[in-house]
Amino acid sequence: MGRTTVEVAAPRTAAIYLRISEDREGRELGVTRQQQHCRQLAKRLGVKVVAIFTDNDISAAAASQKERPEYLRMIRDAKTGLFGTIIAYTSGRLTRAPREFEGQIDLARNHGVLFQFVASPSFDLTTSAGRMMARMMAAKDTGEVEDISERQSDRKQQLIANGEWTGGRRPFGYDDDGLTLRPAEQERGLDAAKRLLAGDSARSIFTEWNVAGMTTTAGGPWDGSNFRQMILRPRNAGRVGKIPPGTKDFRKALDKLPKSRWPPLFAPDDRQAAEDTWVALMIKMTDPTRQKNGGATSLVLVGSHLYTCWCGSIARSGGTTASKQSRYMCKGGGHTRLAGPVDELVRAVVCARLDSQGVRLLPKTGDREPLLKRLALLKARAEEAAALFGDPESGFTAEQLKVTNARLKPKIEEVERELAQLADGSALEGIADAPSPSAAFLAKGIERQRVIIGALVEVTILKAPRGRRDFDPETVRIVPRPRPA
Ligand SMILES: [Zn+2]
């Protein structure tokens, strides 16, 4: 991004713009450090710093409305040709509102001024593509951009912004350059992702790898932690950087990361598909029901966190009876039921459905296409709105932007939910199309069985009459779930 514009035409003189403000970056990264960083960047760019402008935004809440005298003076001086480059720590330091950004575009187009930032990407404002990108950045919450830059060291941040690898140990699936795929490892990684999505446990996969003598790139065995770290890295989706802890909206978080210069491991030729896989995997791997009692292998009973109790509460593994028989106990009311007969019945119903419907249970391959198209369209609309807002001639107001976003957000979320459901349907691949679907199902581990059951039926444990000893199938309600049409 920024790099190429610099190498093509860097004017000889530059101004540095510094701003101290109430936000975290402004407080923590005082003017002195901002200036140091900007001077270093100037040196790298080979430009001479001829002026420094500093605004202080700390005073009062009205600051956002207040004019910045030094900023305005700098714009004036730039127009007279006193300097050809303006350097700031981040684009957020320079631009507080999308509106101000138009003044910068004018400087770039009519006066050939370049903008360079220490810790955010620079765009060539003399091209329409560059302006479009920069407008979108400016229309976004600048706070988000600044937050990211705070967490990274400065040099690293620059590399990340440019989509480059920040170095370190060889990443699994790639050569030492971090860019070139190693086909054998890439296939393994992609296969692991598919199996996880289909319901296999992480443990079953990395145990296989260990048995096959396949080590981590450090030469050690795989375990739950290094496997998880490897499979969930944004690198696999063709993005650079990290997802902040506590993230709930994985798609949004991923969108904020710069695109990588290396091909995504999950789909080297299709970035969208790689991102979809990654998002589905994040949702799956952070599913709270997988983490109860310490990890993916903790599901003792196949219906744990899957069946519903008659009281409406979710059923979980509830220890054993005096005669050592496993039982379900609902979370809310503590109602218990022997697990064996219930699971046997549920498995029988699922087997019958698998054998009778077979491949018809599989999601059609074309199912994802219209959803992906719709998602792309909705996102394009959101971006269009942001771009309109950045263009003062459009008359598009902040209020209109807010309304548009509020309308688009639930639609985008709905499509993403549907895509996730389709990923669930993929649990049936290799099962519903097996020579004997029921045998293939029963041969699978408890994790995978659980996903398949959840995809095919809805199970409710009904209230059983007291005192009855033998199992009455009438006390379990099993309703088939409709398959994607
Ligand atoms: Zn209950």
Q: How far is the CA of 114 from the centre of ligand 1 (A)?
A: 66
> What local confidence, expressed as pLDDT, does residue 187 receive?
93
Break the chain into its structural domains and give their ranges. 2-161, 183-288, 299-361+430-480, 365-428
Report how far residue 239's alpha carbon sits from residue 264's, in angstroms, rounded to the nearest whole number: 8
14: confidence class by pLDDT, cuts 50, 70, 90: very high
Sequence-distant (≥ 6) Cβ neighbours of residue 28 within 8 angstroms? 150
Per-residue tokens: 78:
């730039």
> What is the sign of the dihedral through the CA atoms of 247, 253, 256 and 259?
positive
> 301-320: b or e for each residue (b if 16 or more CB lie within 10 Å)?
bbbbbbbbbbeeebbbbbee
Give which of 297, 299, 298, 300 is closest to 202, Cα–Cα.
297
> CA 361, CA 485: separation in Å to the nearest integer?
10
Largest CA-CA distance found in the chain, in angstroms, rounded: 94
The CA 338 to ligand 1 mean position distance, Å, reads 13
What is the C-alpha separation between 185 and 173, in angstroms, rounded?
A: 5
- Per DSSP, the residues of 11-59 read -SEEEEEEEE-SSHHHHHS-HHHHHHHHHHHHHHHT-EEEEEEEEE--S
Q: Out of 28-32, 135-139, 215-219, 227-231, pick the least confident.
A: 135-139
Question: Residue 17: its pLDDT value, please?
Answer: 93
Name the packing angle between helices 183-197 and 224-231 (round to 10°): 100
For tokens 């107001």, name the residue.
397
- List the structure tokens of 236: 């696999």
What pLDDT was estimated at residue 189? Answer: 95
pLDDT in tens, 65-83: 567 888 889 989 998 888 9
Ligand 1 centroid to Cα of residue 456, in Å, is 23
**Ligand 1 centre from 472 Cα, in Å?**
18
User: How far apart are the CA of 312 and the centre of ligand 1, in A?
Assistant: 6
Q: For residue 465, report the distance from its CA to the centre of ligand 1, in Å.
A: 14
CA of 56 to the centre of ligand 1 (A): 61
- For residue 327, what are its two tokens? 């039982």
Amino acid at 93: R
Q: Which of 75-79, 132-136, 264-268 has the lowest mean pLDDT?
A: 132-136
d(CA 289, CA 280): 16
Separation of CA 462 and ligand 1 centre (Å):
9
Please report which helix (H) or strand (E) contains residue 147, including its range: helix 142-151
- The answer to whether the beta carbons of residues 86 and 14 sit under 8 Å apart is yes
Question: For the residues of 231-299, what is the DSSP string, one character each?
Answer: HT-GGGGTB-S-PPTT---HHHHHHTSPBPSSPPTT-TT-HHHHHHHHHHHHHHHT-HHHHTTSSTT--
Q: How many angstroms is it from 324 CA to the middle of ligand 1?
A: 21
| Cα-to-centroid distance, 117 and ligand 1 (Å) | 59
Determine the distance separating the centroid of ligand 1 and the alpha carbon of 342, expressed in angstroms. Answer: 15
Is the pLDDT reported for residue 246 higher than 80? Answer: no
Confidence of residue 389 (pLDDT cuts 50, 70, 90): confident
Residue 335 Cα, ligand 1 centroid: separation in angstroms? Answer: 5
Whether residue 142 has pLDDT greater than 70 = no
Q: Is the pLDDT of residue 172 over 90?
A: yes
For residue 128, list its beta bridge partners.
Answer: none
The Cα–Cα gap between 133 and 129 comes to 6
Q: What pLDDT sits at residue 298?
A: 44
pLDDT digits (tens, 9 = 90+) for 115-131: 888 877 777 777 777 77
CA of 318 to the centre of ligand 1 (A): 12
Could you tell me the distance, in angstroms and rounded to a whole number, from the CA of residue 451 to the centre of ligand 1? 22
Query: Starting from the edge strand earliest in sequence, which strands make up the sheet with 114-117, in order?
Result: 48-56, 13-20, 85-88, 114-117
Please tell me the predicted confidence (pLDDT) of residue 485: 47
DSSP H or E stretch at residue 400: helix 398-425
What's the pLDDT at 271?
92
Residue 450 and residue 306 in contact, taking contact as beta carbons nearer than 8 Å: yes
Q: How far is the CA of 349 from the centre of ligand 1 (A)?
A: 23
Tell how far the Cα of 52 is from the centroid of ligand 1, in angstroms: 69
- Contact status, residue 367 vs residue 422, Cβ threshold 8 Å: yes
Between the CA of 140 and the centroid of ligand 1 the distance, in Å, is 46
Fold assignment, 2-161: Rossmann fold (3.40.50)
- 254 pLDDT band (50/70/90 cuts)? very high
Q: Please say whether the beta carbons of 94 and 134 come within 8 A.
A: no
**C-alpha 311 to ligand 1 mean position (Å):** 4
pLDDT score of 468? 63
Rounded to whole angstroms, the Cα distance separating 303 from 459 reads 8
Question: Ligand 1 mean position to 353 CA, how many Å?
Answer: 27
Span from the CA of 339 to the centroid of ligand 1 (angstroms): 14
Q: What is the CA radius of gyration of the chain?
A: 28
pLDDT of residue 307: 94
Yes or no: say if 74 and 46 are a contact pair by the CB < 8 Å rule: no
CA atoms of 483 and 363, how far apart (whole Å): 8
Listed in sequence order, the DSSP H helices in 61-97 are: 69-79, 91-94
Mean pLDDT in the chain? 81
State the DSSP H helix or E strand holding residue 128, giving kind and residue range, or none if neither: helix 128-139
